[in-house]
Amino acid sequence: MRSNGVRTIVIGGVATEGGVEGTARSARNLGYEVVILGDGVGSRSRELHELALKLMEQSHFDIAASSEVAAIWQPK
């Protein structure tokens, strides 16, 4: 991805407290900027989902709505 100029990774998916959070941490450890789609992630457990989002936000991940990301990355 670096060879293609990718600097930011936008993450959405299932298991907010598992796969999403793990992927976000791995991407950040590799030096990428990470944006979590707050309305693009989910979990079977609402409580774990909300806790994971809160922990990621407190760990300085950017949490954004998909509409915000779409507005920023319009085709040129």
Confidence (pLDDT) at 10: 95
In our burial notation (b when 16+ CB lie closer than 10 A, e otherwise), range 2-24 reads eeeeeeebbbbeebbbeebbebb
pTM for this entry: 0.85
Q: Which residues pair with 44 in a beta bridge?
A: none
Q: What percent of the chain has pLDDT over 70?
A: 97
74 pLDDT band (50/70/90 cuts)? confident
